[in-house]
Copies of this chain bind each other. A is one copy, B any other.
């Protein structure tokens, strides 16, 4: 996957038709569309195929199971048309490696850090170790929060320049697209502030302008 526009559209709590419509409106400025379980459980995996006709789809399934089951989940996402799948790093090297291998040439991204308060309980202390492990496991990239750009920079130092960093948390959660990209992310993941905007294309353009500033 390429991230030339530096923007991934997250579609979290829309219904299928609404999701496809907003994706089409914004397709010219997107690198990918991220879909999670709320949408997929409502619409079925067929929504991945529908959206993949608009832009490459990353299934944000935060896969976190034993290796054999993680692989089964990733395979189902890829066969449904996903170009990427997000897995959790904390389940360990074998689960991440088997999930990445099951992506069959598509991209596996590992969560190494999250943006909510509870992420400080058990995850935060281990994020740099998990980033190094994800690299060893063959992940195409990692997920690191735009709400903490200094963490994006620190993790860039660990994963090097050939891995992708995708950063959620821009917009409603308070992160800035421009700051996050300048801190080292390849793309920001933006959801509600785009699809709940009264004028989504204008909101997208404002993000693109922020990154050019």
**What residues make up the interface of A, taking CB atoms closer than 8 Å to B?**
12-13, 36-38, 40-42, 44-45, 61-62, 64-67, 69, 72-73, 76-77, 80, 88-96, 114-123, 126, 129-130, 133
Please state if B116 and A92 are interface contacts (CB–CB under 8 Å): yes
Please state if B69 and A95 are interface contacts (CB–CB under 8 Å): no
The 7 closest A-B pairs by CB, nearest first: A92-B118, A92-B121, A94-B118, A38-B72, A41-B76, A66-B116, A90-B122
Please state if A38 and B73 are interface contacts (CB–CB under 8 Å): yes
Determine how close the nearest CB of chain B comes to the CB of A137; give it in whole angstroms. 10
Please state if B93 and A37 are interface contacts (CB–CB under 8 Å): no
Please state if B69 and A92 are interface contacts (CB–CB under 8 Å): no
Please state if B133 and A92 are interface contacts (CB–CB under 8 Å): no
Please state if A45 and B38 are interface contacts (CB–CB under 8 Å): no
Please state if A118 and B95 are interface contacts (CB–CB under 8 Å): yes
